[in-house]
Amino acid sequence: MKHIRNFCIIAHIDHGKSTLADRLLEYTNTIQITEGQMLDDMDLEKERGITIKSHAIQMEYEKDGQKYVLNLIDTPGHVDFSYEVSRSIAACEGALLVVDASQGVQAQTISNLYMALEHDLEIIPVINKCDMPSAMPDEVEDEIVELIGCERESIIRASARTGMGVKEILDAIVERVPHPEGDEEAPLQALIFDSVFNSFRGIIAYYKIVNGVMHKGDHVKFFNTGMEYDADEIGVLKMDMIPRQEMRTGDVGYIISGIKTSTEVRVGDTITHVARPCNEAIEGFEEVKPMVFAGVYPIDPTDYENLRASLEKLQLNDASLTFTPESSVALGFGFRCGFLGLLHMEIIQERLDREFDMDVITTVPNVFYHIYDKHGNMTEVHNPSAMPDPTAIDYIEEPYIRASIITQTDYIGPIMTLCLGKRGELIKQEYVSGNRVEIYYDIPLGEIVIDFYDKLKSISKGYASFDYHMNGFRRSKLIKLDILLNGEPVDALSTLTHESNAYDLGRRMCEKLKDLIPRQQFDIAIQAAIGAKIIARETVKQVRKDVTAKCYGGDVSRKRKLLEKQKRGKKRMKQIGNVEVPQKAFLAVLKLD
């Protein structure tokens, strides 16, 4: 146990943690690096150049003639995947805090750092990309010293691209990160921090042993679910899974026990022996709170069960995804899914398509509201179509967030304009260093759900970083905006919006849908309505055949007769015809500017 070190790498997005992980693996001869980002093995991660999943891998390093086992967990940097980071931190004793030498400390760096400090991790600050011409290591050092109050000498300057400073980082991990504490004689306690589904082996759970020893073939049980299994295979994680006969306290590894149903494995659960169980489960990590809700429906209604199975398998690998069944008049049966943010929602949609071949329609994302009736009873509504009758509502409360935005002083004006446009109120602003300022805003969560992050990035030329946490509920004047096609409401397009935005949003949605809905044999009326009041209308003109072409000469009544006949046909068609809303129309409504 004295020679084990468990650590993770935390940083803001694009500060070079996956490249640094590659260098550490190369330096310790764990693997030969054939291409960049060896741990990002998903196609999506390679294409977008971001880390989506945490990856655990074991290295061996020799220092002063003594061999050490280092368990590294590489984590994502985007705010939407912060739950992955919190789970990795629970399985570690130390963390490398990587900061880009040319960008300095960013919002996500700070929020991940606080998460690590809450778990009492040993922090090793590393300034990465010191070989870049635009690097400012001295200024960044000042920021780090101010942030965590460490000694200047303890900050390591490195470059993951050239390999500079990698040996110093490995030495610092061995010297500074404490070894795992635990009792090998005590009953077995192992914390599950991740799991994956394998179509041949069933569900594979990843864990860290806190107390006790596990042998191959042991009869184990999962503490919270109470299910019992045999440990068919246990081992450690290198680039592949390497079987071992026993795993001791402090080890990080995997267990395969032929589990088939995904609901039996919960991230944060404790594994223990059946014969000699532990008294209590390990303090896991807090339950995840989804921020954004959207309906996910199969395009083909017969795929409903397949979609359920696919979501369950995704949930194993990404515990921050939540879903409950729901049905809609327009789209049939589907699921109401909770996501941590818009990027998270986009990634889940892509993974459903690529990994499970599911064609799905996603509705307009929204957040949850508290609705109080005249008797003072509160109901939580996640979907605008589940809103009670407006006459029964006393008032509505919407969730607010406390947003912290770190930016350069040049962009303060446009950012403040953006936040005010989203009904934000300024709380305070502080100068972090030189020309960098941190601004705190209280903003309704519903306003930032759709395009806030993209707009923030574009007006600040990518320099502003954004982080947020929930900050209670407040009363708001919200109204439900419905979109009607030929008088029929499309519940997938209905939204709850603030009174001041409703007219503008309704008009823009109608205009956008007019461009996207294909022309039919009859006129389609697209209307936006608040209750019974129509506030905007557009018409998609019908496709018409010239029925009078064959009628030449003769009396005008012959022409009129043919046109009347066509008119009656169109009328009948309109009664029985239905309008298909294409998937790109749902997505275009999200991107309304």
Q: How confident is the model at residue 577 (pLDDT cuts 50, 70, 90)?
A: low
* Nearest-angstrom CA–CA distance, 563 and 124: 81
Tell me what pLDDT residue 31 has: 66
Of the listed ranges 77-86, 243-252, 534-543, the one predicted with least confidence: 77-86
Q: How far is the first Cα of the chain from the last one, in angstroms, to the nearest whole number?
A: 56
Tell me what pLDDT residue 412 has: 86
Closest C-alpha to 528, from 458, 480, 474, 467: 480
The arithmetic mean of pLDDT across residues 145-166, rounded, is 83
Mean pLDDT of the chain: 81
Tell me what pLDDT residue 150 has: 80
- Residue 463 in this model has a pLDDT that exceeds 70: no
Residues 6 or more apart whose Cβ sits within 8 Å of residue 402: 427, 440, 441, 442, 468, 469, 470, 471
Tell me what pLDDT residue 227 has: 83
pLDDT one-digit tens code per residue, 69-99: 888 877 777 767 777 777 778 778 888 888 8
- 524 phi/psi in degrees, rounded to 5: -115, 125
pLDDT one-digit tens code per residue, 306-364: 999 888 888 877 777 888 888 776 677 888 888 877 778 888 888 888 888 888 888 77
Element (H, E) at 219: strand 219-222
**Cβ-contact 147, 120 below 8 angstroms:** no
pLDDT one-digit tens code per residue, 498-518: 888 888 888 888 888 888 887
pLDDT one-digit tens code per residue, 487-499: 777 777 777 888 8
Tell me what pLDDT residue 260 has: 79
* Nearest-angstrom CA–CA distance, 6 and 173: 9
458-462-465-467 Cα dihedral, nearest 10 degrees: 50
Tell me what pLDDT residue 582 has: 66
Tell me what pLDDT residue 263 has: 73
Q: C-alpha distances in angstroms, 174 versus 152, 205, 208, 283?
A: 19, 27, 19, 26
Tell me what pLDDT residue 39 has: 60
Tell me what pLDDT residue 160 has: 80
- Residue 485 in this model has a pLDDT that exceeds 70: yes
DSSP state of 179: P
Tell me what pLDDT residue 469 has: 76
- Residue 125 in this model has a pLDDT that exceeds 60: yes
pLDDT one-digit tens code per residue, 159-207: 888 888 888 888 888 888 888 888 888 888 888 888 888 878 888 888 8
- Residue 457 in this model has a pLDDT that exceeds 80: no
- Residue 111 in this model has a pLDDT that exceeds 80: no
**Tokens 């029985």, residue located:** 576
- Residue 139 in this model has a pLDDT that exceeds 60: yes
User: Percent of the chain beyond pLDDT 70?
Assistant: 90
* Nearest-angstrom CA–CA distance, 210 and 225: 19
**Tokens 């009174």, residue located:** 499
Tell me what pLDDT residue 590 has: 58
pLDDT one-digit tens code per residue, 28-78: 876 666 566 666 666 676 666 777 777 788 888 888 888 888 888 777 777
Tell me what pLDDT residue 138 has: 85
